[in-house]
Structure 1
Amino acid sequence: MWRRVPRADDGRVTDIITGLYLSPLEILVLLGAVALVAARWLPAAARPPVTIAAGAALVLSATALCVAGIRWQLLPVLAGAACAAPFALTPVLRRRTGRRTWRARWWAALPGSVACAGLIAAGPVAAWAFPVPEFPEPTGPFAVGTRVLQWTDPARPETATPDPADRRTVVVQLWYPARQSPAGARRAPYLGRTEQEARTVSGALARYAGLPGFLVDGVPRARTRAVLGAPVARGGTRFPLVLFSPGLGGVRAQNTAWAEELASHGYVVAALDHPYDSAAVVLADGRTIRTEVAPTGDDREDERRATGTARVRAADLSFVLTRLDRLDRGESRDPLAGRLDTGRAAVTGHSLGGAAALQAARQDRRFAAVVDLDGYPRDPVLRPFPQPVLALTQAIGPKTDPRYLPRLTGVLRLSTATSYRLTVPGAAHLTFTDAPLYLPPVPSLTGSLGRARSTHVVAATTLAFLDTTLRHRPGDLAGTLSAYGDLSVHRPGGRPDGGR
């Protein structure tokens, strides 16, 4: 089965095998290696032409891959081919020189062929487990553009550095409704404005997660569905805002698939990098700020630090909303001036970013709605707030912090608007990010929903909630949400409705 998808290393379209995430050159390497192993077991007349054709295809395609940049997943394929090549090529060469050929008996050759086949099979398995992420096509009526801004808050010192003159700086990536770009327009890289920035951020994320960087070397090769700097969609429509804060150590682009889907439906998504917290933040001047977040081993101290970080993030979110309001009012010549509806703004976040979103909403009434993607509330004092909340949580199990649901429920009950908690069966903590697109589908890591289903559930539920709360579209929101999991509805002054 074949399908058409964007190539990982450029904006053009190429064929890959569904589920294997291999480029045409990688497929040629794989087929050439398989043919070399299989040649030993073919009829005598077929062995020479198959061996020569396989060897030629393998050498040419492997050489081209080495020039373009070979992925580690192809190394076991090349190793299997290298082991098989002498036994496949030697008889052919001896026959051409008129020398007597010798072949091992089948029972002696079988273990070697099986070992080579095992090495070769490890390649596509590794490519499936750690693919170049393939981003889903947004389903909304708008094309998607993206750009990156950097703002410094002159009123806030940077508490992570000793220099009192340092001011708090944030990097913000916007995804917005755009005009349709010409065919073949280059898509934006994932995780950065450039491929070099993407490699820097990808490596930092791997180190933060305790993974060898080479395992996710396909991530910075990816291309998203947005076009960098695309013109804003025509018309006078004003777009609601969705501000996003990533998880602890996370980065602004970690929910790109979700952001692109929302932008295609007429929202402007503004995702933040939080310097000294995000794994790596590349500033406009080229400097890279690495995370200074590390566990201390003391649970109380770690809790205290997480609470402080959420407080700083909440201030970052309010600051960015202020800057977007100034941008909309035309304080700078910006293509989005006059197109942002800052009166309809939602604050969202994943994990610690969800905690920051809840805190920002309580402190800043300009936010009209909140989406918490599996975030434990960190506000030290729980107080009422007027915004409706959608809280998406992973499947609750024995390893879930027993304080999580009671504290989250306590927060939702304090909202003076109807709020929703949706527990998604089969979801894990990273289900609510792009991670299922490029990490192995291990249920404890990325959940059991699958790559495509994970991104769909998060985007569809969020979009239904935002359309109801920001655009006031009629419909049965509880009914829509309950189709995706176990829903509890928290109505003002009443008990939660559960089990829908």
Structure 2
Amino acid sequence: MWQRVPRPEDDRVTDIIAGLYMSPLEIIALFSAVALVVARWLPPAARPRVVIAAVAVLALSAIVLSVVGFRWQMLPVLAGAAVTLPFALPPLLRRRTGRPVWRARWWLALPGSVACLGLTVTGPVAAWAFPVPDFPEPSGRFAVGTRVLQWTDPSRPETFTADPHDRRTVVVQLWYPARKSPAGAQRAQYLGRTEQEARTVSDALARQVGLPGFLVDGVPRARTRAVFDAPVADGGERFPVVLFSPGSGGVRTQNTAWAEELASHGYAVVGLDHPYDSAAVVLDDGRTVRTRTDSTGDRAQDDKLAAGWTAVRAADLRFVLTRLTHLDRGDTAGPPAGRLDTRRTAVTGHSMGGAAALQAARQDRRFDAVIDLDGYPHGPTSPSLHRPALALTQAITPGTDPHYMPRLTQALKHSTATSYRLTVPGAAHLTFMDGPLYLPPVPSITGSLGRTGSPHVVAETTLAFLDATLRREPGDVASALSAHGSLSVHHPDPADPPDLPDHR
């Protein structure tokens, strides 16, 4: 699972080359800048040709990059070349005019060359630290299609606004098994339906974590493995449904790599934007709704607020499942209508989304399984869970909230179905979303599993659980999970009978 396979080239200038996370044009510019710096140390006969070629190629590359899209990571490369030019060109010009050529002693030139070379090399280091995300090739037998829908719940007032006529609206994105698209088909934009929407969302996410937006300017340039509105896969089979709620301030696309992998294995994945909670939600009419869920710094007050936000999210999940049932009946045209098996549905989430998934599963028996990706269980822990659950957590350290593990254990133990808690060594909180694909590989931020290892672990463990719970496929779930970390299994409590109505 999750083996990379050869893929055809597409029209992205940001294709990853040789692990440098730079486009071919950027690599050409980099080599030209390096050649300009080291020309000083070449034999005298070779210096003029190298300088002329390096300057010409570098200038042409800079012009083309300014047209197709210039990344800030190239600034150190161009700066190193610019500092070198005043020392590289004058000797060349003097030689052509017959004037005497003066060159600094090697012990004077060496520090400058090293400094310029170091400045130039900063470019690929920055490109490696903040790359354009390269999404893994899904390993399943299906291609992946995607679609964005917006739904309004007429029965629920919007609690984040004072307008009594405002009703709760959610934006969802579906990833579903699709037919293979023609060669050259445009892949879906990451973070939005358009690059403008993607930039709006990317800037909002950066502001939320205190990063300058330019640092992650490669993220809205990325394209995923799905194709918008691709025809649903042939065969007529119906696909189990997996709903997903993002982390606090997160957005519907934050787990795209995971969603595409599940879709390639025959699941329909539905990610939610929660307006006024997600960092930025662009509505169909062009309005952008930004987050209003700020913490106060007071633990008791923040716990109360988080419980309320979690309840809103859980209600969003239940509403979306109802709308998916209507979509499957043909109330809304387009894929994957008629192919959703909403009688086999899991609810999942990351961080606060995981808490919302647990709440939704307690409240609504239409959910057959629940997955919590490193989410603190905000809100009440009753009624008990009556569906199998999987909780993936990062390694517990002295810095971990001391209430987290007891609270999660309580939620899993009080259940009438078998539940699993898997602690993944080397994982951090952002391991369980797309962050490792485009953030610096700092263990405290994205974990130490690597850019390919992180999505592999999350996909393989959740697929093993979903195949067993939604598809009833034979196999030892505990064995499959324990291969990736430390596993605790909580068996059903026979003294706690089911008490939830089935709303199917």
1:186 aligns with 2:157: no
- CA deviation profile, 1:262-298 (whole Å, cap 9, x unmatched): 0000000000000000000000010000101212122
CA distance in structure 1 between the aligned counterparts of 2:382 and 2:14, rounded to whole angstroms: 52
Which amino acid letter does the alignment assign opposite residue 278 of structure 2? S
Of stretches 150-159 and 395-404 in structure 1, the one that deviates more from structure 2 is 395-404
User: What's 1:168 paired with?
Assistant: 168
Percent identical among aligned pairs is 75
SS at match of 2:174: strand
Which residue of structure 1 aligns with residue 344 of structure 2? 344
Amino acid paired to 1:332: T
Q: Which moved more, 1:397-406 or 1:130-139?
A: 397-406
The CA deviation at 1:243 is 0.2
| Mapping of residues 249-288 of structure 1, within 5 Å | 249-288=249-288
Question: What does the per-residue CA deviation read over 1:329-378, in whole Å, with 9 as the maximum and x for residues that have no partner?
Answer: 12233332221100000000000000000000000000000000000111
> 1: distance between equivalents of 2:197 and 2:333?
27
* 2:370–2:389 Cα contact (<8 Å) kept: yes
Deviations 1:163-208 (A, max 9, x none): 0000000000000000000001000010000000000000000001
Contact 1:36/1:54 (8 A) holds in 2: yes
Q: Secondary structure at the match of 1:117?
A: helix
Would you say 1:197 and 2:197 are equivalent positions? yes
The Cα shift of 1:12 comes to 4.9
Written as runs of structure 1 = structure 2, the 5 A alignment for 1:98-117 is 98-117=98-117
Ranges in structure 1 where 5+ consecutive residues have no aligned partner: 495-500
Distance 1:39 1:16 in 2: 28
Q: Give the corresponding residue for 2:422.
A: 422
User: What pairs up with 1:289-308 in 2 under 5 angstroms?
Assistant: 289-308=289-308
Show the counterpart of 2:501.
none
Q: 1:52 to 1:230 in 2, by over 3 A?
A: same
Q: What pairs up with 1:64-463 in 2 under 5 angstroms?
A: 64-463=64-463
In structure 1, how many angstroms separate the alpha carbons of the residues matched to 2:333 and 2:41? 70
What TM-score, normalized by structure 2, do the two folds share? 0.95
Q: Aligned partners of 2:61, 2:339: CA distance in 1, in Å?
A: 49
SS of the residue corresponding to residue 422 of structure 2 reads: strand
- Once residues 443 and 127 of structure 2 are traced to their aligned partners in structure 1, the CA distance between those partners, rounded to angstroms, is 18
C-alpha distance in structure 1 between counterparts of 2:65 and 2:12, whole Å? 17
SS in 2 for 1:82: helix
Task: Report if aligned partners of 1:6, 1:13 keep a CA contact under 8 Å in 2.
Answer: no
Q: Which moved more, 1:153-162 or 1:80-89?
A: 80-89
Q: Displacement, 1:382?
A: 2.8
- Greater Cα offset, 103-112 or 63-72: 63-72
Task: Provide the C-alpha distance between the structure 2 equivalents of 1:381 and 1:483, rounded to a whole number of angstroms.
Answer: 29
**Partner Cα separation in structure 2 for residue 219 and residue 56 of structure 1:** 30
Of stretches 65-74 and 121-130 in structure 1, the one that deviates more from structure 2 is 65-74
Q: Distance in 1 between matches of 2:143 and 2:198?
A: 23
Moved more, 469-478 or 17-26: 17-26
Distance 1:71 1:463, change over 3 A: same
**Aligned-pair CA distance for 1:15:** 5.9
Secondary structure at the counterpart of residue 176 of structure 2: strand
- 1:70-116 residue CA offsets vs partner (Å, 9 max, x unmatched): 10100011000000111111111111111111100000000100110
Give 2:498's aligned residue. none
Conservation of the 8 A alpha-carbon contact between 1:310 and 1:352: yes
CA distance in 2, matches of 1:293, 1:376: 16
CA deviations over 1:223-250 (Å, ceiling 9, x no partner): 0000011110012100000000000000
Structure 1 residue 212: deviation in Å? 0.4
TM-score of the pair, normalised by structure 1 = 0.96
Unpaired stretches in structure 2, ≥5 consecutive residues: 495-504
* Runs of 4+ that moved beyond 4 A: 3-7, 12-15
CA distance, structure 1, for counterparts of residue 215 and residue 489 of structure 2 = 41
Shift of 1:301: 1.2
In structure 2, distance between residues paired with 1:180 and 1:366: 32
Q: What are the superposed Cα offsets for residues 39-77 of structure 1, whole Å, 9 maximum, x if unpaired? A: 000000000001100110000001111122210100011
Deviation at 1:415, TM superposition (A): 1.6
Aligned residue for 1:285, secondary structure, equals: coil
Aligned to 2:38: 38
What amino acid maps onto 1:64 in structure 2?
Answer: V
SS in 2 for 1:242: strand
Residue 136 of structure 1 contacts residue 452 of structure 1 at CA under 8 Å; is this kept in 2? yes
CA 1:23 to 1:264, structure 2 compared with 1: closer, same or farther past 3 Å? same
The AA in structure 2 aligned to 1:63 is I
SS at match of 2:141: coil
Once residues 72 and 4 of structure 1 are traced to their aligned partners in structure 2, the CA distance between those partners, rounded to angstroms, is: 29
Give the secondary-structure state (helix, strand or coil) at the position aligned to 2:225: strand
Q: Does the CA contact (< 8 Å) of 1:175 and 1:259 recur in 2?
A: yes
Q: Which amino acid aligns with 2:87?
A: F
CA distance in 1, matches of 2:158, 2:474: 44
SS across alignment from 2:255: helix
* 8 Å CA contact retained: 2:354, 2:371: yes
In structure 1, C-alpha distance between the alignment counterparts of 2:352 and 2:437, rounded to whole Å: 21
Contact 2:188/2:225 (CA < 8 Å) preserved in 1? yes
| Cα shift at 1:395 | 0.8
Cα distance in structure 2, aligned partners of 1:119 and 1:13: 24
Q: For 2:434 and 2:38, locate their aligned partners in 1 and report how far apart those are by CA, in whole Å.
A: 39
Per mean C-alpha deviation after superposition, the further-off stretch among 139-148 and 15-24 is 15-24
2:254 is paired with a residue whose SS is helix
Deviation of 1:16 after TM superposition, in Å, equals: 3.7
User: Where does residue 493 of structure 1 map in the other structure?
Assistant: 493
| Matched residue, 1:465 | 465
Q: Is residue 5–residue 15 contact of structure 1 (8 Å, CA) maintained in 2?
A: no
| More deviation, 81-90/133-142 | 81-90
The answer (yes or no) to whether the contact 2:13–2:23 under 8 Å persists in 1 is no
- Tell me how far apart the structure 2 counterparts of residues 202 and 338 of structure 1 sit (CA, whole Å): 34
Displacement of 1:14 after TM fit? Answer: 7.6
